Structure 1
Amino acid sequence: MSYATQSQTNITAGLQYQGLLEVVLFSTLTTLPCCVFLFINIIMLFTLRSKLVFCETSRYILLFNLLFADTMQMAVSQLLYLLAACRITLTYPLCGVLAMLADLTTAISPLTLVVMSLERYVAVCYPLRHTTIITMRNTAVAIIAVWAFSSLNILTRVILLLDFPFEDLESLQMTHFCAKVNILLGQMSGLYDKGYTYFLFVSASVVVISTYVGVMIAARSASTDKASAQKARKTLLLHLVQLGLSLSSTIYNPIIIALSRNVTRIIFVRIQNVFYVCIFISPRCLSSLIYGIRDQTIRPVLISRLCCRLKLSVVPA
């Protein structure tokens, strides 16, 4: 039995130490904020499809793609959490589909942030060519490339799973709860997962940091619009923060595995719940809050829609 499997055994056993009241309490404390954030994200997605300016502007189209991926990631993560909290085990194929879907959306977020950073870089450093470079067609091509690259990663993982001797298993029913670490069957799958994660976020970080430095240099030029450069610099800085938060979700499993060795099981489960909310749930709503509050075009429409929904929710039937 591998180290990861032993650690996951400890995790599953730790869940058995939770009483029913504690399971309900933690499930409620994670589900409520998740539902609130999902509500905000969905309203934001509808907002970005409510006006022609949002549908024909590249940065809003890219923002829609980012929010869509974050919303899917949040929904799938919460589903997997509730399955684990309720001690429901799945079959390997079903767990694989859910885990691969979560992995797909996890990769889309940093790649979309890279494209959004490049768009801001072109807007500041090449303002006269911005409309010819950042077209609707090129934006669509960039989004397709992001999804294709992420899908290729999923296809590679599936191919690596084909080498695992499933016929040696007594049953396809999992003995542990569904999590990505539990379907990394075989050494090659684990090595590929680490290599892909490192490559993705190192490359994304280099691009975002490079665009940030490029905008800072351009801001010192006399021919550059100072206000536009300053706004773009702040936006790129936010992209870098978002990228760091996305990276935090990839180090969740190593942290959890390390904790499972050094703390008691019941304390481990409680820490795991806190980490889940802070690392998985909270960062998924930041894009809506950041762009919904900062953007002068989105803000009035978003506030109007949120207030309308809240008023409707309190009006008695």
Structure 2
Amino acid sequence: MNDKIMLIQVFVVLFLCINLLLITTFFSKEVFYSTMRYVLFAVTLMSDCMFLFLADLLLILNLYRFTIQRWLCLIIYIVVSLYSFVTPVTLTAMTLERYVAICLPLRHAELCSTRSTLHGILIIHSLSSLPCVVVLSMFFASASSASYTHVPRCSAEIFLIHTWQGHLRSAISQFYFLIMCMTIVFSYVKIMRAAKAASGEDKKSTWRGLRTVGLHALQLLLCLIQLWCPFIEAALLQINLMLFINVRFFNYITFFLAPRCLSPLIYGLRDEMFFHALKRIALCGLRKKH
């Protein structure tokens, strides 16, 4: 188990360093923080950093059985819950931005202005906070005064007192991801039609946008499977403890960490302008060390 935890720490530190380098690159040029797709990309990077750090902190706290105050656990839960939704909701917004850029190019400047981007970020965080607000409202309505003391294990489950609350939380999550999946499929179909109708340079750009939407769909699928992991793990725990530990480790790497490392691949490395700026900053850093 210690070897697995050490491997997870290596992955988390590596992803955090990569994301922080990409965030530094984002602030290096005005064109990045004045263009909607780059701003939304930066939102996913910051969201992923926050989620990775706090999720790893919870993993360590629970592994070594640290006892913390429930109010502190509540704060951690709110942030983790918020940013577990911010990333997929932002991915959906980025897909819509690609749809507008390719299928409605004449309206792109109007719909994807700096003002619209700020409004979009507010909407993303508002939508992402709703599941957490529902869960905490149910908890405060049902909890007794004894529920506000120390907790032996900080997790989302301690805020679900009744079974139906867990079912409602799961239903809300599934509804969110159903809407997101429908949005991505709609955008993918529309962009594919535009790609077939385009010619020359437009065709090349359109197919690149289609591949980007496809990678967003893969990220979203991994985030969706993450919701099913607790049900699978609970069933395996009743069968075999070692199997449960191995499957939980696999789920954590594949469905918690992997979706968070795809964002750098999609925009950090595939986007030519961003990649050149990233390479320049990385090379400058190496030169300073020498």
TM-score, scaled to structure 2: 0.92
How far residue 70 of structure 1 moved from its aligned partner, in angstroms, is: 1.2
Match of 2:185 in 1: 209
Amino acid at match of 1:99: Y
Check conservation: 2:91, 2:216, Cα contact below 8 A: yes
Match of 2:142 in 1: 164
**Against the structure 1 CA distance between its residues 33 and 136, is the aligned structure 2 distance closer, same or farther, given a 3 Å change threshold?**
same
How far residue 272 of structure 1 moved from its aligned partner, in angstroms, is: 2.1
In the alignment, is residue 144 of structure 1 matched against residue 126 of structure 2?
Answer: no
How far residue 236 of structure 1 moved from its aligned partner, in angstroms, is: 0.8
Report matched runs for 1:89-100 at 5 Å.
Answer: 89-100=67-78
How far residue 273 of structure 1 moved from its aligned partner, in angstroms, is: 2.5
How far residue 105 of structure 1 moved from its aligned partner, in angstroms, is: 0.3
How far residue 311 of structure 1 moved from its aligned partner, in angstroms, is: 6.3
Q: Identity, % of aligned pairs?
A: 30
Check conservation: 2:160, 2:166, Cα contact below 8 A: yes
**Against the structure 1 CA distance between its residues 312 and 274, is the aligned structure 2 distance closer, same or farther, given a 3 Å change threshold?**
farther
Match of 1:248 in 2: 225
Query: Structure 2: 5+ residue runs without aligned partners?
Result: none
Equivalent of residue 154 in structure 1, options 132, 140, 157: 132
Counterpart secondary structure, 1:52 = coil
Amino acid at match of 2:220: L
Amino acid at match of 1:180: A
Check conservation: 1:246, 1:283, Cα contact below 8 A: yes
Check conservation: 2:70, 2:149, Cα contact below 8 A: yes
d(CA) in 1 for partners of 2:212, 2:245: 37
Match of 1:289 in 2: 265
> Once the two structures are superposed, what CA deviation does each residue of 1:123-154 show, in whole Å capped at 9, x if it has no partner?
11111221122111111111110111222332
Q: Which has the larger radius of gyration?
A: 1
Report matched runs for 1:48-197 at 5 Å.
Answer: 48-167=26-145, 172-175=149-152, 177-197=153-173
**Against the structure 1 CA distance between its residues 94 and 218, is the aligned structure 2 distance closer, same or farther, given a 3 Å change threshold?**
same
**Against the structure 1 CA distance between its residues 301 and 161, is the aligned structure 2 distance closer, same or farther, given a 3 Å change threshold?**
same
Equivalent of residue 299 in structure 1, options 272, 275, 278: 275
d(CA) in 2 for partners of 1:221, 1:174: 59
Most deviating of 104-113 and 272-281: 272-281
Runs of 4+ displaced beyond 3 Å: 306-313
Match of 1:226 in 2: 203
Most deviating of 32-41 and 282-291: 282-291
How far residue 178 of structure 1 moved from its aligned partner, in angstroms, is: 1.6
Match of 1:43 in 2: 21
d(CA) in 1 for partners of 2:161, 2:286: 46
How far residue 271 of structure 1 moved from its aligned partner, in angstroms, is: 3.3
d(CA) in 1 for partners of 2:154, 2:146: 20
d(CA) in 2 for partners of 1:272, 1:74: 16
Check conservation: 2:212, 2:266, Cα contact below 8 A: no
Match of 1:237 in 2: 214
> Once the two structures are superposed, what CA deviation does each residue of 1:229-253 show, in whole Å capped at 9, x if it has no partner?
1111111111111111221222221
d(CA) in 2 for partners of 1:144, 1:188: 30
Counterpart secondary structure, 2:28 = coil
d(CA) in 2 for partners of 1:165, 1:34: 34
Counterpart secondary structure, 2:14 = helix
d(CA) in 1 for partners of 2:283, 2:96: 34
d(CA) in 2 for partners of 1:310, 1:262: 51
**Against the structure 1 CA distance between its residues 55 and 256, is the aligned structure 2 distance closer, same or farther, given a 3 Å change threshold?**
same
Q: Which has the higher contact order (CA 8 A, sep 6+)?
A: 1
Cα RMSD for the two superposed structures: 2.1
